[in-house]
Structure 1
């Protein structure tokens, strides 16, 4: 007793003042005698006590009332003590129940012997009576207590688990749960089973109420889904049908559960056995309620919204099934959730399959062909093609379920676009005809089906027809003679041969039979081949991944393989050759004719002698009028430009003569293309024949404003930026040559035109300074030396830059790219997985070219240095031209040339320094010096 003070120490005056003085003290009324110091023998002591108990005389101290109650009516007064009270007084162990109470007087009291003295281990009625006597319940008008017998309660709860109201519980639509019947406003109540206390009674009833609440909530959800429009997604209707089948199946199973009101039934179950019998149904409905967002603890106003999206719906079912598999839930729960997933995802999987042309049936093709034949308007067809092409290039915003493997997620959007392109490029392709044997993408669960799929043999039939009850039909000779009577062959069956004799609800009966068969055939665990649900999903979707990959490869092969048919215009390599030859100005015939049309390297601005003497402008011009070198002309000489472009004295030049002359540039350049007779060149020649209308020049309006109107000045290096070259790509190849890629080609074309303009300007400079007898600076020797030195440096820089652009920036990137464009062969994979990867590679090719020419947005600073250097060279040639035309004196031109040369060398120093730093940082040779 360490830490506790004895009672005597607490009896001080100070302590007694704190205690209430009107209560008497409570001294101990018993003592525990000490054990004797002798050996103990429990067996002999117990025998002696029993012998003494039998020899002990009864004590006659009981009241007469008890003696009269216990005595028999005809017994004499001296025999008023019955065996009941006699045994209680003499403590006869092992003969009767040890519990002593008034309740023992009733005849139905259990009189069998009990091996324990604890009340909690006595008979249920004894224990309930003891608890009621000890914990006497106060009467509360706000609490309605209903005492029911066990049989009546079980019969009522049997109706509750079926979702029907009973005499004790009714359905409350506001809270969507069963509540106790006959309760007033603001009144609580509970049922009290005979022999059970309040806690045990509520524990027993709670399982039955849970089953009834969840079953009824699922029915309410089904009523909501059935009320929706029939035009909604079929996945939602499949979800409703699967839930309806499960609810019907559960109600049928619950109706057969005990207690059964059958007078012929001999089954008798204890309350605990009945309570455990409903455990599996509670677990099933709890799992279904959680999947549907209708858990018992969830209030109706807090229900999660029902997602109509098939992706969300299928992903939710899959996640619940995967969670129960990881928890190793009972077999029935796994089978039911797998049944829901199989039926709900079936239509969605077929839709995904149809989106990539997998398992396309003839009916779909016929409907599509019919739709095309009814469309007679060519303009509408062109508009639809344009919209389809735009949709192809836009990034797909579709989402997919969680169980789709990463390989399928990567290739499925690509395969969808590839299917549209392949139908447009080659409608008669074998992969579009459905000639290959393709199974149905569907879930399979049995070990035999999984092993068969692992070996490559996927099921070809629908799961719904395979699991339906068989219907035996027989055909007679009369049916063959009269085929119109085949609709009555159902009535030719023998009695009992029809698997579904019920004519009231054959569909519901077939559905429950399908579910029952599915549960029976569902394996206890997944096989070792697919140990988890994700492995099984990968196996189920493997044919779709293979088909999508084959579809992408087929389209890629179509674009990369030369052909001699009418589809030879889809050869991507030929289109790349055209783009390189014309938009990158790599073809010598085209480059020379383009330079003759737009540029000039003559030392005089006289426009009399042109390369094309029969232009419209030359016919308008008088033959005797020439441009002189007089000072009356106000506009400086735009060195490097063709004189015919400056004839109208407006910039940019517009008119029929310019468009006609540029059109002949393209047509004349085709005449020098060699046309060989071998088959490899036939495809190239046919594409080149179409290039006459695929290629063309166009004029665009550039932005104007402070600092952005240099293209309006023929003296600026941006004078030719208004002109660009357009390329009409075939609609089937717009995925490989997009508008973004064409814009990059046009940026390269504008840069090459600027470079050609500076080259021709330097050619004019050399012509103007080649005379040794009549130099430009006859009296200023220093300025003349500076002129010659700057001419040499500028010519060396421009020629090196031009060679770098054509050999390194263009050819150095284009040639390796063309070498990778070989179609996939047996045993060798292509460099690109699909056409969209090829398009990304094409775009990266142009990005590398722009980076090599310092034309990317991230290279704005160093690119501006290169543009300024070329602009200073052009300005230098213009000043020399003004001096050559005697429109400027020596002393006026000398400081201008000195200032231009100084700025040029400063720009070159910065350019070389920045280029070397950039090349050291990114390991890319971008320095053109």
Structure 2
């Protein structure tokens, strides 16, 4: 073993050579690493001489001491004492046993004087020696002075430093944290921040605590305590300033919101709730440390205070971010707080959901929950009243999304009757984001259903029964959520923010008219308080204290909680919508929808055989002679005598298929009282047969006599005007039937749907006109005395062939329209609306959730019928081919009629007939080709798969065109027959 004494660990890091650089200047190095406190040197591989080694080490130490003493004048004179003491102690420790050195240092203060001195201790006014040798354990001023001398602060002319006492600083911060100016900080309106007093523009302010050299400002802080250095990166007072800045900015926002001239109830509720929250936060901040006792004694735990304000700092940062008033933003970059009721509620809900997902502190979540509860109270009340749910006001002052229900009252007898569609269109269909999808699907229909139900049956039980249910309120307590989830009615009062602040009136039970409802307060005994008002800050604090730490398992997310909260509203909305639907479907009187649809089908779609027959007799004729048929007309003899000479001298072409009475005045379109009288008679006579055939309510049939009627369209302007003035091609396009449904059934039979009925009515009149024209050809051809084309055999054969093809096509088209299109689609729809023997059974088979879905289904039904008849706007090419084909058949009938009348000769009529036949064949071939392309594009099934004899639910829309193809081209005759090169 070597006798070399290892360096003592206590002084192993004190190297005089490291303190002196080449320029003899004092050098600050980084703190050296911490080494083990013991050393076992490795023995060299040579003989050991402990005596010589010890002498050599002593000489080396003396040389180092001389060099250090010679170069020490660059240091302060006071440090010579410290260096001499350290050198003396180290030299003595070489021959001292372990532990003696620590005894000399007098760590426990047994000696009367400290062995470690500072330059400040040598002042004449500070002769007392400290009981501890450690500089860091001396007085704070002494330690700060030594550190300030060794680490001098750089002088910066743009920096203003203010030395403050700790008691004064925290007294000032207690004012600043509440949003008030203090002795060190004042409010700057331009930047909306607290700035240090006395700091000019372009300068930086620093506050330095007496006895500490760290900077206590909004820049950076250095603490002697390692725990504080690790915990606090930013300044101590920056947190206090942030809380004060944000609190003051939110106060300014509240002031702006209160000064707005127009403020809705939701914005007003938000302003009130935010004001309560800020008041509660101020009262809590006022109770925060340091207290007056701590300030008076000077014992202020800085780290504890700094951590205590962390929760309030996080809360105000969250509120400022919600309001767009972050501390880093300047006022000119503030986001405008112009939220509508729906947007504001959605904004609050989204922030609450974010904090729940982030698992923020319970205080932050509770504050946003309180804000959402208070702000949404009035809006939820309006929405509830819009569907007749919850307590209703005594007068009609309900509002649906800022729209008074008084506007929904339609005066049916007054001249200023308001269109019910305009009223329904004003119902807002935009809702906050927390409304669940199932409620969004039914709520607009329920709001509109309430309007219609009040109009259809004001005395309905759903409207007249007293509303004892509580309004919709947000549920936060676990027991309330579980009760709502399980749909159990609890007798306990739901703990919410609204019930604490609501006004409660203890009024004796006495009935008052709605106009005198407010006079109930005068029935109370003298001295009885009618108002129970709680402190706003107390209300918020109680809500925060009672707020649960987490959501219950049955509602793990805020979306689930919203569904449970609004479950009562969803249930009532569904009940309201289904009630109105069943009213229209099961009403025994004039509001029965099925009865009105039967009238529309029988009259506007011409499915009533009596009406179709009477209408055909009035408008059409299949006579083979051009004369007036007066057998079934109630006319005077004078009128009949006046008409014969007029008709005898007529030079107009014979509009075969039309009743000759329509052409008696040679004016087209025909006008006159006789036509109106005939058509009115047709409607009245047909209603009796309809009532007997369908067993319709008597009120519906009686009202149909004036709800149904014929009308004349205005003449078109442009190229279509010539066709309207020609009775040979337009048939009766000028004539249409109108129907006026009762209020409010017009929602299910609107003008748009009636226009579709009228288009079908016009199409059917054209088809019936061509049918009568072809029937007239059959009558003309059976005459033996005056045959058609008596001398032209080929023309006669072509006439018979053309007549057969045209008759087959029109008959197939007519059967397709009435049987497949109308009968196969409209009849199943009526059967779906009909009431069965079992009330529950027929309601189960109805697939409509509300009347508006039923109205859409009705409109879609007419669209399918029009599509099957090629009458939609997207089927114009195919529809034109179908119309042109029927017009060619009518043109063929007119040519033959003129030949029979003697207006044309055989040689003149033959080429005209041949030309019509060629065009008819080309049009038919093109029509078949177009139909096949449409069918192949919309389905992959074969034609036979869609055709079943006796099938009840026939396909509608484009799928029904399979049946038309099977009817007019069963054997592919039109496809196989060659087509001429003439243009189609």
TM > 0.5 between the two?
yes
Give the whole-Å Cα distance in 2 for the aligned partners of 1:609 and 1:472.
Answer: 82
- Preserved CA contact (<8 Å) 1:703 1:709: no
How far is the alpha carbon of 1:755 from its aligned partner? Answer: 0.4
Structure showing greater relative contact order (alpha-carbon pairs closer than 8 Å, 6 or more residues apart)? 1
Tell me, which stretches of 5 or more residues in structure 1 are unaligned?
A: 1-22, 41-47, 71-80, 476-481, 492-499, 501-505
Aligned partner of 1:467 in structure 2 is 500
Aligned partner of 2:191 in structure 1 is 175
Does 1:582 pair with 2:595? no
Give the whole-Å Cα distance in 2 for the aligned partners of 1:339 and 1:161.
Answer: 23
Go from structure 1 to structure 2 and tell me whether the alpha carbon gap of 1:378 and 1:345 turns closer, same or farther (over 3 Å shift): closer
Aligned partner of 2:752 in structure 1 is 740
- Map 1:333-482 onto structure 2 (within 5 A): 333-364=364-395, 381=414, 383-384=416-417, 386-392=418-424, 394=425, 397-435=428-466, 437-457=468-488, 463-464=496-497, 466-467=499-500
Greater Cα offset, 898-907 or 770-779: 770-779
Give the whole-Å Cα distance in 1 for the aligned partners of 2:935 and 2:77.
Answer: 120
Go from structure 1 to structure 2 and tell me whether the alpha carbon gap of 1:467 and 1:124 turns closer, same or farther (over 3 Å shift): farther
How far is the alpha carbon of 1:139 from its aligned partner? Answer: 3.5
SS of the residue corresponding to residue 627 of structure 1 reads helix
Go from structure 1 to structure 2 and tell me whether the alpha carbon gap of 1:436 and 1:675 turns closer, same or farther (over 3 Å shift): farther
- Preserved CA contact (<8 Å) 2:117 2:133: no
- Map 1:466-615 onto structure 2 (within 5 A): 466-467=499-500, 486-489=525-528, 510-563=535-588, 568-607=589-628, 609=630, 611-614=632-635
- Preserved CA contact (<8 Å) 1:573 1:821: yes
Does 1:766 pair with 2:775? no
Greater Cα offset, 412-421 or 915-924: 915-924
How far is the alpha carbon of 1:415 from its aligned partner? Answer: 0.7
- Preserved CA contact (<8 Å) 2:474 2:565: yes
SS of the residue corresponding to residue 208 of structure 1 reads helix
SS of the residue corresponding to residue 925 of structure 1 reads helix
Go from structure 1 to structure 2 and tell me whether the alpha carbon gap of 1:86 and 1:646 turns closer, same or farther (over 3 Å shift): same
SS of the residue corresponding to residue 645 of structure 2 reads coil
Q: 1:732-758: per-residue Cα shift (whole Å, max 9, x none)?
A: 111111111101100100000000100
Does 1:890 pair with 2:889? no
Go from structure 1 to structure 2 and tell me whether the alpha carbon gap of 1:347 and 1:760 turns closer, same or farther (over 3 Å shift): same
Go from structure 1 to structure 2 and tell me whether the alpha carbon gap of 1:888 and 1:69 turns closer, same or farther (over 3 Å shift): closer
Aligned partner of 2:152 in structure 1 is 136
Aligned partner of 2:242 in structure 1 is 210
Give the whole-Å Cα distance in 2 for the aligned partners of 1:173 and 1:779.
Answer: 111
Give the whole-Å Cα distance in 2 for the aligned partners of 1:367 and 1:276.
Answer: 50
Give the whole-Å Cα distance in 2 for the aligned partners of 1:808 and 1:376.
Answer: 43
- Map 1:635-714 onto structure 2 (within 5 A): 635-673=652-690, 675=692, 681=695, 684-707=697-720, 709-714=722-727
- Preserved CA contact (<8 Å) 2:186 2:196: yes
- Preserved CA contact (<8 Å) 2:408 2:423: no
How far is the alpha carbon of 1:227 from its aligned partner? Answer: 1.1
Aligned partner of 1:830 in structure 2 is 846
Go from structure 1 to structure 2 and tell me whether the alpha carbon gap of 1:689 and 1:262 turns closer, same or farther (over 3 Å shift): same
SS of the residue corresponding to residue 191 of structure 1 reads strand
SS of the residue corresponding to residue 525 of structure 2 reads helix
Aligned partner of 1:619 in structure 2 is 639
Q: 1:12-43: per-residue Cα shift (whole Å, max 9, x none)?
A: xxxxxxxxxxx9999x9x9xxx9953399xxx
How far is the alpha carbon of 1:185 from its aligned partner? Answer: 3.8
Aligned partner of 1:848 in structure 2 is 864
Q: 1:117-157: per-residue Cα shift (whole Å, max 9, x none)?
A: 9x9x9997677556644553443333211122222111111
- Preserved CA contact (<8 Å) 1:235 1:310: yes
SS of the residue corresponding to residue 444 of structure 1 reads coil
Aligned partner of 2:42 in structure 1 is 37
Aligned partner of 2:89 in structure 1 is 90
Go from structure 1 to structure 2 and tell me whether the alpha carbon gap of 1:525 and 1:122 turns closer, same or farther (over 3 Å shift): farther
SS of the residue corresponding to residue 416 of structure 2 reads helix
Give the whole-Å Cα distance in 1 for the aligned partners of 2:854 and 2:430.
Answer: 24
SS of the residue corresponding to residue 170 of structure 1 reads strand
Aligned partner of 2:915 in structure 1 is 899
How far is the alpha carbon of 1:341 from its aligned partner? Answer: 0.8
- Preserved CA contact (<8 Å) 2:148 2:213: no
- Preserved CA contact (<8 Å) 1:467 1:518: no
Give the whole-Å Cα distance in 2 for the aligned partners of 1:357 and 1:706.
Answer: 54
SS of the residue corresponding to residue 820 of structure 1 reads helix
How far is the alpha carbon of 1:193 from its aligned partner? Answer: 2.7
SS of the residue corresponding to residue 187 of structure 2 reads strand
Tell me, which stretches of 5 or more residues in structure 2 are unaligned?
A: 1-21, 30-38, 46-53, 91-100, 108-113, 223-233, 509-520, 940-958, 969-984
How far is the alpha carbon of 1:706 from its aligned partner? Answer: 2.2
Aligned partner of 1:76 in structure 2 is none
Aligned partner of 1:188 in structure 2 is 204
Give the whole-Å Cα distance in 2 for the aligned partners of 1:109 and 1:908.
Answer: 126
SS of the residue corresponding to residue 292 of structure 2 reads coil
RMSD after superposition: 4.1
Aligned partner of 2:358 in structure 1 is 327
SS of the residue corresponding to residue 737 of structure 1 reads coil
Give the whole-Å Cα distance in 1 for the aligned partners of 2:502 and 2:132.
Answer: 55
Give the whole-Å Cα distance in 2 for the aligned partners of 1:295 and 1:599.
Answer: 82
Q: 1:568-597: per-residue Cα shift (whole Å, max 9, x none)?
A: 101011001100110001111111111111
Aligned partner of 1:911 in structure 2 is 927
Q: 1:140-179: per-residue Cα shift (whole Å, max 9, x none)?
A: 3332111222221111111100111011110011111101
Go from structure 1 to structure 2 and tell me whether the alpha carbon gap of 1:917 and 1:524 turns closer, same or farther (over 3 Å shift): same
SS of the residue corresponding to residue 535 of structure 2 reads helix
Go from structure 1 to structure 2 and tell me whether the alpha carbon gap of 1:625 and 1:646 turns closer, same or farther (over 3 Å shift): same
Equivalent in 699, 702, 727 of residue 739 of structure 2: 727
**Residues paired across the two proteins, number:** 837
Does 1:715 pair with 2:716? no
Go from structure 1 to structure 2 and tell me whether the alpha carbon gap of 1:129 and 1:738 turns closer, same or farther (over 3 Å shift): farther
- Preserved CA contact (<8 Å) 2:391 2:470: no
SS of the residue corresponding to residue 214 of structure 1 reads helix
**With structure 1 as the length reference, what TM-score do the two structures score?**
0.82
Give the whole-Å Cα distance in 2 for the aligned partners of 1:309 and 1:237.
Answer: 12
SS of the residue corresponding to residue 200 of structure 1 reads coil
Give the whole-Å Cα distance in 2 for the aligned partners of 1:364 and 1:110.
Answer: 87
